């Protein structure tokens, strides 16, 4: 059995999927949800890896057999909103309706899988502030234990092919992505986080957090697990499910993801959208990060498998509550 403590030399990787199908896909195109999910599940099984699937609530209602298959394969299922709407824009009436819908989806998920969801990621990450007190209070009241909405902008995103005229400017001499470990640019890229966020007590405290290991923290009674790497659309854009990604963009994304997936002795995570990674020529990216994690002796597992993470001093060394 894998030791669940983070204090040893083995790192922990959370592989997350914003599992939203056509509900979150910004394309009016047919999408074969079962096929895409099957490809993802087969790739995870190939590496004996368990992942976190943040599923849109309506998909739980519409696809119970698929949800059952995901859970039966040992993966954690959290919720990703109910209809993939911007929760940051909801007024009190819409938020109350959302709460009822979320509770119903959570109960159905428990009926299907035998376990209520404990993790939640908001559609669009609650952009632009990546937090809303009313939403967190609602989640807490429904028994959720952890969330993952706090996005961090990373310097490596500045060299995405297509943003600058030089095709391979992102690639260092060793083939790795330039700026991958650059800390000088973290602060200017995350000014809003430093100035407008409230965790860690002050901008100086948040700067120390940003320049450090960016450990999870407790917000409104929920463990907030931040983004430890750009999500797939930050690197790949928003391709259609049936289109291929250019080779240089694919190589860049592979370099960023595989480096982010291996942080010995630390917690890290990568995030994919089902309709992006299962489509075109992009499924190999999932295999690449799983292979990198295996070779780097990273434990790929879920929060639900190790609930003690949620109260462990190794995972959450600082408790930050809000009045």
Task: Round to whole Å and give the CA distance between 229 and 118.
Answer: 22
Structure tokens at 59: 């998909």
- Supply the pLDDT for residue 312: 52
Cα distances (angstroms) measured from residue 76 to each of 4, 72, 89, 272:
16, 10, 28, 15
Q: Which residues contact 69 (CB under 8 A, 6 or more apart)?
A: 37, 41
- Cα separation, 79 vs 59, in Å, equals 10
> What's residue 314's pLDDT?
42
Residue 319: pLDDT band by 50, 70, 90 thresholds? very low
* Distance of alpha carbon 84 from alpha carbon 81, whole angstroms: 6
Query: For the residues of 265-317, what is the DSSP string, one character each?
Result: TSEEEEEEEHHHHTSTT-HHHHHHHHHHHHHTT-EE--TTT-GGGGT-TTT--
Mind listing the pLDDT tens digit for each residue in 20-51?
999 999 999 999 999 999 999 999 999 999 99
State the average pLDDT over residues 221-233: 95
Q: What is the pTM of this model?
A: 0.93
pLDDT in the model for residue 7 = 39
Predicted confidence (pLDDT) per residue in 158-208, tens digit = 999 988 777 788 998 888 899 998 999 999 999 999 999 989 889 999 999
Return the domain boundaries, the chain. 12-182+214-310
Please tell me whether residue 166 adopts helix, strand or coil conformation: coil
DSSP structure string for 80-117: --SSS--GGG--HHHHHHHHHHHHHHHHHHHHHHSS--
The 10s digit of each residue's pLDDT in 112-157 is 999 999 999 999 999 999 999 999 999 999 999 999 999 999 999 9
CA 228/CA 152 separation, integer angstroms: 7
Q: Which CATH architecture has domain 12-182+214-310?
A: Alpha-Beta Barrel (3.20)
Q: Model confidence at 58, in pLDDT bands (50, 70, 90)?
A: very high
**Torsion over CA: 276, 279, 284, 287 (sign):** positive
Task: Tell whether the model's pLDDT for residue 283 goes beyond 80.
Answer: yes
Backbone φ/ψ region at 265: left (φ over 0), alpha (ψ -120 to 50), beta? left
Query: With 60 as the cut, is the pLDDT of residue 8 above it?
Result: no
What pLDDT does 189 receive?
Answer: 97
Interatomic CA distance for residues 85 and 310, integer angstroms: 27
Place of tokens 């949620």: 310
Average pLDDT, the chain: 91
Helix, strand or coil, per DSSP, at residue 161: strand
Question: In 10 A of CB 28, how many CB atoms?
Answer: 6
Given this model, what pLDDT does residue 166 score?
76
What is the sign of the dihedral through the CA atoms of 137, 142, 147 and 150? negative
pLDDT at 286 (0 to 100): 98
Which of 297, 294, 282 has the alpha carbon at shortest distance from 252?
Answer: 282
99-106 mean pLDDT: 98
H/E stretch holding 251 reads helix 247-260
- DSSP for 174-217, please give it: TSSBTTTT--TTHHHHTHHHHHH--TTSSHHHHHHHHHTT---E
């Amino acid at each position: 059995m894998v030791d669940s403590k983070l204090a040893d030399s083995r790192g922990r990787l959370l592989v997350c999927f914003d599992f939203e199908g056509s509900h979150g896909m910004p394309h009016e195109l047919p999408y074969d949800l079962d096929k895409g999910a099957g490809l993802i599940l087969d790739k995870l099984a190939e590496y004996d890896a368990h992942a976190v699937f943040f599923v849109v609530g309506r998909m739980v209602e519409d696809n119970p057999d698929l949800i059952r298959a995901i859970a039966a394969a040992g993966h954690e299922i959290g919720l990703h909103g109910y209809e993939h709407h911007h929760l940051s824009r909801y007024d009190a009436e819409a938020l109350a309706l959302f709460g009822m819908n979320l509770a119903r989806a959570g109960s159905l998920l428990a009926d299907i899988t035998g376990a209520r969801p404990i993790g939640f990621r908001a559609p669009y990450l609650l952009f632009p502030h990546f937090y809303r007190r009313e939403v967190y209070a609602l989640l807490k009241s429904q028994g959720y234990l952890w969330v993952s909405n706090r996005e961090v902008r990373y310097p490596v995103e500045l060299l995405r092919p297509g943003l600058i005229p030089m095709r391979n400017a992102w690639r260092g001499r060793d083939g790795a992505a330039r700026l991958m470990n650059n800390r000088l640019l973290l602060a200017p890229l995350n000014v809003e986080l430093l100035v407008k966020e409230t965790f860690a007590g002050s901008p100086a405290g948040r700067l120390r957090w940003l320049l450090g290991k960016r450990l999870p923290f407790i917000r409104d009674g929920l463990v907030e697990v931040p983004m430890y790497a750009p999500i797939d659309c930050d690197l790949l854009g928003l391709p259609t499910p049936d289109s291929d990604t250019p080779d240089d963009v694919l190589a860049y994304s592979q370099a960023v993801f595989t480096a982010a997936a291996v942080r010995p002795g630390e917690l890290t995570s990568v995030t994919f959208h089902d309709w992006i990674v299962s489509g075109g020529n992009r499924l190999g990216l999932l295999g690449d990060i799983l292979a990198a994690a295996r070779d780097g002796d990273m434990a790929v597992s879920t929060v639900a498998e190790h609930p003690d993470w949620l109260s462990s001093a190794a995972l959450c060394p600082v408790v930050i509550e809000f009045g």
